[in-house]
A and B are shown apart, each in its own frame.
Chain A
Amino acid sequence: MTLTQAVRSTAPGKTTPKRAGRTRSEAKRAAPAFYWMVWPAVIAFAAFHTVPVIVGIFFSFTNYAGYGAWNFVGISNYLNLFRDDRVLQAYGFSFLFAIVATILTNAISLAIALGLNAKIKARNFWRGVYFVPYILAILVIGYVFQFFFSNSLPKILAGIPLFRDNILTNDTWAWTAIVVLAVWQGCAFAIIIYLSGLQTIPAEMYEAASLDGASAWRQFRSITFPLIGAFFTINVVLSLKGFLQVFDPIVALTNGGPGTSTESVTLLIFRGGFSGGEFAYQTANAVIFFIVITVVSLFQFRVLQRREADF
């Protein structure tokens, strides 16, 4: 069961794990060694993942600043979140950014994957080139992009005021530069997924279709796209989830600015929680953020699976 299978098996009533290891000792308990293999991992995971989650939820009902004394304040942190312009703006920015970046990443990746899947010269070389962004630290290559946007582009496109005045300092358009960087890196992984999806389609399907006189576009719409549905689903869900939590590209390019116009939810939680004395408040924000991401992911699975074909 890997990612693409998970997409399929999350559909209600479809979870039927294969029971490969049940040939013997069905009724008996597992050998003690198996418990020894699992328990340390469970304890470590609970200690460093589940405990922080619970501690976080606990403190979200207090007024803890990150230091000193604290009191319970009920759900007032949660109520205040919905009245806080800065929080609402961060959600607005994160969603705008994530939706645009997801659409662009998937459209571009699919196009490139189709190109790489055609019979081209030096295909392995090109495939290797397109994967390079994945292995670079986005923060570090982001600083190169930052130089490009703030120093190179103003000189190259001096005729266009938007670029001449450094797009990164533009209230309205700075977010597009972040999209460029995030998509630049996001495509690397998405292309590989789409490419392996395309390779699962039998060539005979295209032969049959072209005998029937189907055009290239028609073939893409009726064969290619439905058959890579699972790959499309996983790419869209993963990229939207990742882009909603955007952090590194923003730190590299604008650091949330100008003002707070490119401040994402993660950046806000980081800033408010660590240096703003809003530990409890931002934890409440994180809890809401978790719920939002889960709802969005599950919603996507439901919607996207409905129109997925299998063969």
Chain B
Amino acid sequence: MTSMTNTAAQLESEADAVAPAPRRRQRESDDDTRKTNWWATALIAVCSLTVLVPLYLAVVVALKTPEQLTNGTGFELPNPIRWENFADAWTRTEFPQALANTALITVGSVVFTLLTSSVVAYALARNIHRPFFKGVFFYLLAALFIPFPIIMLPLVKQTSILGLDNQAGMILLYTIYGLSLNIFIYTAYIRSIPIELEEAARVDGASTWRVFWQIIFPLLMPMNATVGILTCVWAWNDFIMPLVVLTEPSARTLPLAQYVFQGQFNTDYTVAFASYLMAMAPLLIIYIFSQRWVISGVTRGSIK
């Protein structure tokens, strides 16, 4: 458990490059103050092009006129720049509607997930020696093995019967399906919190709920960040669940809107790409400003 916090600390200290990170290539001396490995730097930089080139392609195509696109490979710089692609995409894909739906579903899922998963995990972690709670823990965990296709077909029947084939239903499903992994992530952390903290509060007459909200929940902030990031990325980018569950066109999420309008764009790639960029931009911009925080959050969730 301590190593979990160690990992986070390592990530932080990395910025100062003081961590004596082990390396494969020992070209220089074995001192702690090693010289920069320029070969590795160059290799990493070149390989990162594979990540950046598709994004570059998305940007330049979105700024071109259709004529420029037909005459080139797509990689040329746009000249003149056609901003109207974005305006076209904005109206043709009903972007504001899709953005609002995705934002609503994502925010709703994150909020409900944080409020519910943490409570359940707390109850399970503090009572894991009792058969009932242990049973629940493994019951929820077993679901990690069940692939989505097996519940997909019956689920769609069920959500439409219950009137949950809308944004509210999506929030409910993300909250419930996230439970398995989130409990997994939370319980380990909760068990590392000394029980004496709670006992002091109990002696003062605080109820179990009060203990949780006032003492435990604030201590869970690192794990809340991890669970929040994972849920956010999942709910924002998910395609298959909105595809099968949502029925009303007015409930479409961003990825679903790209799918639906893909057919209508036909060969109108410039407008289509403007639309893709707009769909990817919000999360990408958030990521750029919180990159280190996001990565350390994801790391915490997957490493002991």
Contacts and interface: CB of A to CB of B under 8 A. Distances in A.
Q: Do A and B come from one complex?
A: yes
Interface of A: 1-6, 17-24, 26, 29-31, 33-35, 37-38, 41-42, 44-45, 48-49, 51-53, 55-56, 59, 66, 112, 114-124, 126-141, 143-145, 147-148, 151-152, 155-156, 184, 189, 192-193, 195-203, 205-207, 210, 216, 219-220, 224, 234, 241, 244-245, 247-248, 251, 265-266, 269-270, 273-274, 279, 282-283, 286-287, 289-290, 293-294, 297
What are the nearest 7 A-B pairs in CB distance? A33-B208, A37-B123, A137-B237, A52-B151, A118-B40, A52-B154, A120-B41
B266 interface: no
Contacts of A23: 195
Contacts of A196: 7, 10-11, 299, 302-303
A116 B51 contact: no
B4 interface: yes
Interface string B255-297: 1001100100000010011001001100110010001101100
A293 B145 contact: yes
B21 A115 contact: no
7 contacts: A1-B304, A38-B136, A140-B279, A193-B299, A245-B148, A273-B152, A283-B153
| Contact-residue size bin, chain B (C-beta under 8 Å from the other chain) | 35 or more
Given A34-B133, A37-B122, A130-B51, A2 B255 contact: no
Most chain A beta-carbon neighbours within 10 Å: one of B150, B153, B157: B153
A197 B124 CA distance: 28
A210 B123 CA distance: 49
Contacts of A206: 22-23, 26, 30
B44 A116 contact: yes
Interface in B8-38: 10-11, 14-15, 17, 19-26, 30, 34-38
A273 B153 contact: yes
A129 B52 contact: yes
B127 A30 contact: yes
A2 B151 contact: no
A309 B58 CA distance: 44
Interface centre among B3, B151, B192 (most CB of A within 10 A): B151
Contacts, number: 351
Contacts of B20: 203
B299 A141 contact: no
The SS class assigned to the A binding surface is: helix
Interface string B184-210: 110110011001000100000001110
Contact of A132 (B74, B153, B158, B287): B287
B258 A143 contact: yes
A53 B146 contact: yes
Given A124-B291, A137-B255, A244-B147, 18 more contacts: A1-B304, A18-B191, A19-B128, A21-B128, A30-B123, A37-B123, A41-B119, A48-B173, A115-B43, A135-B283, A135-B287, A136-B237, A141-B280, A192-B302, A196-B10, A203-B21, A274-B153, A283-B150
A297 B269 CA distance: 41
B30 to A, nearest CB: 5
Contacts of A2: 4, 184-185, 188, 301-304
B89 interface: no
A210 B29 CA distance: 10
A34 B126 contact: yes
A288 B258 CA distance: 32
B149 A265 contact: yes
Contacts of B22: 117, 198, 201-203, 205-206, 224
A55 B154 CA distance: 6
A95 B17 CA distance: 42
Contacts of A151: 69, 73-74, 269
